[in-house]
Amino acid sequence: MKTIKDLPFPITAMKADWMPADSWIGFTPTGKGLNAAAQCQSTINKQAKNGYIIEYITQSIQEPNEGYENEPSYLETLKEHPQVAGRLIAIHKIRASSRPLEEILGNEAYEKMQDVWAKPDKRVRWSVAFPIVESYEIINKPLAKKIFSEESQKSIIRRSSATLRELSEKDRISLSYLEIKRIETRNEWIAIEDEIEISQKSNIDQSILDLINDDLPVGAFEGETEEKTSKIKRRAAWLAQKFALRRSREGTLICDHCSYDPKDTINCDKKYLRSLLDVHHTDPIKSGFRYTRENDFELLCPNCHRLEHLKIRMCNDDVL
């Protein structure tokens, strides 16, 4: 079973709310003026530091605006709340850039939400929303007071805050052995679309474009337009390049299957060493439909890479 300490990034902060997050985490900008939303986004980025966020459900529930006490979504929250109140329920990775909640929900649902929850003169409840791109359920959903020290509870639970609550190293240690399970997230396509835009503007090595093109199976994008297919491929190559650069930076340019280390063969600069290893996409079929991450790639020596592709071909022939 996977535990929190197996996650590739640390849990940097906690989000407290009375309603479990669905496919986005929203924040209500506190400042006034045109920059309020941008300021809110920048505060959250600073707190999240690109790590995971742990979700805590508060003991009490906010009451809806007058006249909405019988709102079905509120009644449902009220019914489910006792099971999760005071508990740590999930871990999320949010995308670095937010989207206006109105764009995610559509105008009608957004206005309804403001009718029910916002103060009449401040209709921006949860309006700065970060799409969740990766989620884990915490299996036991423990009470936060059983996990965090008295001192931590004071600083992260009993203090009200419109933003995130940053965790200390000590808090992270308290969490590290909680068991977690990956769950599907529904906003992946939003994140994919935005990354497609970035990848269109980035320079990508032709060799990486070619390798990834070979990894993506023929027919994987049946029914998709040629334009969309080529965008999805370019994004996959962009991620592959990020992955290879990171490995180079970390000094781990070795074959992930046989541990071949190009350094043992030739003494040269990192950028040449990288040319002796190929990037391979391990789960290409889901490229367009799932939030592919850097973890979906591996570095292989040319031998292992060929072998891997031969195995895939043989497997496909069996299917046919």
**Position 255 contacts Zn ion (CB under 5 A):** yes
Q: Which is nearer to Zn ion, 74 or 260 (CB)?
A: 260
Q: How far is the CB of 207 from Zn ion (least distance, A)?
A: 12
Q: Which is nearer to Zn ion, 174 or 248 (CB)?
A: 248
Q: Which stretch binds Zn ion (CB under 5 A): 48-56, 81-89, 220-228, 247-255?
A: 247-255
DSSP code string of 260-289: --GGGT----HHHHHTTSEEEES-GGGTTT
Q: How far is CA 181 from CA 86, 88, 89, 106, in A?
A: 20, 14, 11, 30
Among 13, 94, 299, 304, binds Zn ion (CB under 5 A): 304
Please report which helix (H) or strand (E) contains residue 70, including its range. none
**Position 208 contacts Zn ion (CB under 5 A):** no
Among 123, 145, 172, 257, binds Zn ion (CB under 5 A): 257
Alpha helices in the chain (DSSP H): 36-48, 72-84, 101-105, 107-117, 144-147, 150-152, 169-175, 188-201, 206-215, 226-250, 270-274, 302-319
HEC assignment per residue over 27-61: ECCCCCCCCHHHHHHHHHHHHHCCCEEEEEECCCC
Q: How far is the CB of 233 from Zn ion (least distance, A)?
A: 13
Among 38, 198, 258, 268, binds Zn ion (CB under 5 A): 258
Among 188, 195, 215, 296, binds Zn ion (CB under 5 A): 215
Q: How far is the CB of 235 from Zn ion (least distance, A)?
A: 17
Query: Which residues of this protein are in contact with Zn ion, per CB under 5 A?
Result: 215, 255, 257-258, 260, 280, 301, 304
